Amino acid sequence: MISVTFPDGAQRLFSPGVSGLEIARGISPSLAKRTVAMALDGVVSDLADPITKDAKIEFVMREDPRALELIRHDCAHVLAEAVQALWPGTQVTIGPVIENGFYYDFARSEPFTPEDFAAIEKKMRELIARDAPFTKEVWSRADAISFFEKKGEAFKVELVGMIPADQDLKIYKQGEWLDLCRGPHMTSTGKIGAAFKLMKVAGAYWRGDSNKPMLSRIYGTAFAKQEELDAYIKQIEEAERRDHRRLAREMDLFHFQEEGPGTVFWHPKGWTLFQTLINYMRRRQQAEGYIEVNTPQVLDRALWETSGHWQTYRENMFVTTTEDERVFALKPMNCPGHVQIFKNGLKSYRDLPMKIAEFGIVHRYEPSGALHGIMRVRAFTQDDAHIFCTEDQIMEEAMKVNDLIMSIYEDFGFTDVVMKLSLRPEKRVGSDEVWDKAEAALKRVLDKVAETGMKTGINPGEGAFYGPKLEYTLRDAIGREWQCGTTQVDFNLPARFGAFYIGDTSEKLTPVMIHRAMFGSLERFTGILIEHYAGALPLWLSPLQAVVATITRDADDYGRGVIAAARKAGLHVEGDLRNETINYKVREHSLAKVPVMLVVGKKEAETKSVSIRRFGSQAQVSMGLAEALAALKDEATAPDLKRAG
């Protein structure tokens, strides 16, 4: 007999092989009916699975958070059955659960269109209403291969061959239809319910490999309750409302045009914001002992051969050949330039650590399909720095970078940050011994940071070609994640360029180079800020902080005085003295997300005051002009300057 422990602590004995369903039925038929799966010692599995040893059992209901994944996975199976019913001959491949739903990849000569969704969803509802039980069978490889071959399911045959020999080959049936699947599933298709929706169609490579065939993917999502589905759709709409491409047009920040794909035309307001970020970063770095430099935009091919970029990233570089047949490349990175500055003049161990910073504009020929607004462009500005130091100094310097990064993110309103360590990739330079050292150093930083309570993780195989890296991912106001900062330890580049310093025993030593960026790309960070704040930037970042709007012509002279005074106080201010109603002006500047409106009419002119209306609020506050400007000036002061007093 085996002992089964229930959530309330009670234990009961059953004969080995008893199923969760049998146990549930023994307790009450209604429990058995409501239960969709079980968790054995915390592992979710089919309710019909036999229990063979002592275990803790929990019955998982449809509303259980753990059932959400099952609902979605089951929904993917039903989607596949519906598609095959509607379009016989379509091959099925895989249909996993993903963060906000699921997808299923199909092989079909004709791709799907969103117009097909109504028919597919209708079919799915039929299949769900049929409420066929999910049943599991374990097949032999030979049976599975011959079955799928006969059905013309070439991709499934390939999948069967990929399942490790020590694993059971599981087949899940739902009525007539079946799929190779690792499970688990709920008890029947009816448990999926009605809160599902097909979202979009897309192409996707078989097994994520761009050399393999392109499949037709259908994305969908499902929830336990309709309200949750509605909330999710609302959240998507909210994200669209925040889209930086749309907000940038409304706020007149920048534009793109055909002649410069992936390169930004910054408008005055956008450039003001951009410069605010640079000025802030410059102050923060200067306070930490960084020195700022500037290195050439175009450099000879020979330098990129030495650095290794030519061999590794040639296809992503903008290359130009001059009249005299010399080959140059636009810099895709600043590091080689900074090594040249380090190399120029003899350096001693006393000069280390040497922190060379640059707001470096880099050009990378990104694949056309990768471009995305200002988030992924072909020319962007990095807040780049390279710390030349000794091996012994790596840990301390990386920790200092960490502290600076965290403090900076906090100033911008990002407090939820995750740090991940990316280890050696397949395509790399340098010996394994050197990689061991570099990875060990960053691992120590990761561990130390983890002790402070920060979330950390490891990405195997995702390091840069010259060294491992720590990556900082921040989460924005609506929960999306953005990778921004990075700290990379490099034992390779300085040696490749023959950089050295004189040690305390007079011998020549090769420095270690720490690459680091905090914003990452200024362009991308600007985009993240726009979306994070939904365009309503805090006053210190806002490129247009206030608009002075007059009510009638009588107030024009006073209004002009207010504009001049505000500008004198250092505020970014515009006037709106147009012959329009105050309602009209308020509406227009609200749509443009101007943080502050200073409304002036006869009353204000007489009392030398302003009526303040803040973006997002209808309240009006009357205040003396001098007092109002002082308050706004204080609010518009960057956080680091405020701390300095």
Looking at the Cβ atoms of 9 and 369, the one nearer to RNA is 369
Query: Which of 174, 382, 488, 545 is flagged as catalytic?
Result: 382
Query: Among residue numbers 363 through 422, which ones bind RNA (CB under 7 A)?
Result: 364-373, 376
Does 567 participate in binding RNA (rule CB under 7 A)? no
Q: How far is the CB of 216 from RNA (least distance, A)?
A: 6
Looking at the Cβ atoms of 146 and 620, the one nearer to RNA is 620
Distance CA 394, CA 181 (A): 47
Annotation says 389 is catalytic: no
Among 537, 611, 628, 636, binds RNA (CB under 7 A): 611
Does 261 participate in binding RNA (rule CB under 7 A)? yes
Among 33, 287, 584, 634, binds RNA (CB under 7 A): 584
What are the distances in angstroms from CA 242 to CA 412, 529, 542? 17, 10, 16
Q: Do β-strands 354-363 and 291-292 pair in parallel, antiparallel, or remain unpaired?
A: parallel
Distance CA 130, CA 120 (A): 15
Query: Among residue numbers 6 through 45, which ones bind RNA (CB under 7 A)?
Result: none
Among 62, 77, 301, 613, binds RNA (CB under 7 A): 613
Among 312, 340, 473, 637, binds RNA (CB under 7 A): 312
Output the CA angle 84-63-73, nearest 5 degrees: 25
Q: Determine what percent of the chain falls in helix, strand and coil, rounding each to the nearest 5.
A: 40, 30, 30
Annotation says 469 is catalytic: yes
Annotation says 553 is catalytic: no
> Which region, judged by CB under 7 A, interacts with RNA, from 8-16, 138-146, 386-394, 578-586?
578-586
Among 79, 529, 586, 632, binds RNA (CB under 7 A): 586
Q: How far is the CB of 539 from RNA (least distance, A)?
A: 17
Distance CA 598, CA 550 (A): 8
Looking at the Cβ atoms of 95 and 332, the one nearer to RNA is 332
What single-letter DSSP state applies at residue 294?
-
Distance CA 28, CA 252 (A): 65
Annotation says 255 is catalytic: no
Among 27, 620, 630, 641, binds RNA (CB under 7 A): 620
Distance CA 16, CA 53 (A): 7
By three-state DSSP, how is residue 19 classified?
Answer: strand
| Contact criterion met (CB below 8 Å) for 632 and 598 | no
- Residue 198 contacts by C-beta under 8 Å, 6 or more apart in sequence? 79, 117, 120, 121, 218, 219, 220
Does 451 participate in binding RNA (rule CB under 7 A)? no
- Residue 423 contacts by C-beta under 8 Å, 6 or more apart in sequence? 439, 458, 459, 460, 461, 462, 463, 468
- In what side-by-side order are the strands of the sheet with 620-624? 573-576, 546-550, 596-600, 609-614, 620-624
Handedness of CA 550, 554, 560, 563 (dihedral sign): negative
Beta strand residue intervals within 41-98, DSSP E: 43-45, 50-51, 55-61, 91-92, 97-98
Does 72 participate in binding RNA (rule CB under 7 A)? no
Among 548, 599, 629, 636, binds RNA (CB under 7 A): 599
Reference 563, options 591, 599, 614, 617; nearest CA is 599
Amino acid identity of residue 526, one-letter, is: T
Q: How far is the CB of 109 from RNA (least distance, A)?
A: 9
Query: Which of 364, 428, 593, 613 is flagged as catalytic?
Result: 364
Annotation says 338 is catalytic: no
DSSP letters for 68-131:
HHHHHHHHHHHHHHHHHHHSTTPEE----EETTEEEEEEE-SSPP-GGGHHHHHHHHHHHHHHT
Distance CA 379, CA 264 (A): 8
Does 265 participate in binding RNA (rule CB under 7 A)? no
Query: Among residue numbers 171 through 200, which ones bind RNA (CB under 7 A)?
Result: 200
What single-letter DSSP state applies at residue 543?
S
Q: Which secondary structure element, helix H or strand E, spans residue 305, and what is its range? A: helix 301-307
Does 488 participate in binding RNA (rule CB under 7 A)? yes
Strand partners for 45: 38
> Which region, judged by CB under 7 A, interacts with RNA, from 24-32, 50-58, 215-223, 275-283?
215-223
Q: How far is the CB of 373 from RNA (least distance, A)?
A: 5
User: Residue 448, class by beta-carbon neighbours within 10 Å (0-12 exposed, 13-18 middle, 19+ buried)?
Assistant: middle
Query: Among residue numbers 230 through 249, which ones bind RNA (CB under 7 A)?
Result: 245, 249
Does 512 participate in binding RNA (rule CB under 7 A)? no
Q: How far is the CB of 427 from RNA (least distance, A)?
A: 8
Output the CA angle 518-458-400, nearest 5 degrees: 35
Query: Among residue numbers 90 through 129, which ones bind RNA (CB under 7 A)?
Result: 111, 113
Looking at the Cβ atoms of 285 and 488, the one nearer to RNA is 488
Q: How far is the CB of 467 from RNA (least distance, A)?
A: 9
Reference 201, options 214, 218, 220; nearest CA is 218
Query: Which of 386, 420, 496, 532 is flagged as catalytic?
Result: 386
Distance CA 615, CA 261 (A): 34
Annotation says 618 is catalytic: no
Does 637 participate in binding RNA (rule CB under 7 A)? no
User: Which tokens in the block code for residue 383?
Assistant: 């807040």
> Which region, judged by CB under 7 A, interacts with RNA, from 48-56, 203-211, 293-301, 401-409?
203-211
Q: How far is the CB of 246 from RNA (least distance, A)?
A: 7
Q: How far is the CB of 157 from RNA (least distance, A)?
A: 21
Write each residue from 318 to 357 as x if it is in contact with RNA (CB under 7 A), else as -, in one continuous string. --------------xx------------------------
Q: How far is the CB of 481 from RNA (least distance, A)?
A: 12
Size of the site for RNA (CB under 7 A): 71
> Which region, judged by CB under 7 A, interacts with RNA, from 9-17, 24-32, 319-327, 591-599?
591-599
Handedness of CA 37, 40, 43, 45 (dihedral sign): negative
> Which region, judged by CB under 7 A, interacts with RNA, from 272-280, 311-319, 404-412, 637-645?
311-319
Does 496 participate in binding RNA (rule CB under 7 A)? no
Reference 216, options 208, 198, 207, 204; nearest CA is 204
> Which region, judged by CB under 7 A, interacts with RNA, from 170-178, 504-512, 582-590, 634-642?
582-590
Distance CA 512, CA 229 (A): 52
> Which region, judged by CB under 7 A, interacts with RNA, from 381-389, 403-411, 526-534, 587-595?
587-595
Query: Which of 191, 242, 355, 515 is flagged as catalytic?
Result: 515
Query: Which of 74, 179, 384, 476 is flagged as catalytic?
Result: 384
Q: Which secondary structure element, helix H or strand E, spans residue 379, and what is its range? A: strand 379-389
- Neighbouring CB atoms inside 10 A of 216's CB total 21
> Which region, judged by CB under 7 A, interacts with RNA, from 22-30, 50-58, 504-512, 573-581?
573-581
Output the CA angle 535-537-539, nearest 5 degrees: 150
Annotation says 572 is catalytic: no
Query: Which of 469, 496, 585, 589 is flagged as catalytic?
Result: 469
Query: Among residue numbers 466 through 485, which ones bind RNA (CB under 7 A)?
Result: 466
Does 557 participate in binding RNA (rule CB under 7 A)? no
Just list the catalytic residues: 335, 364, 382, 384, 386, 469, 515
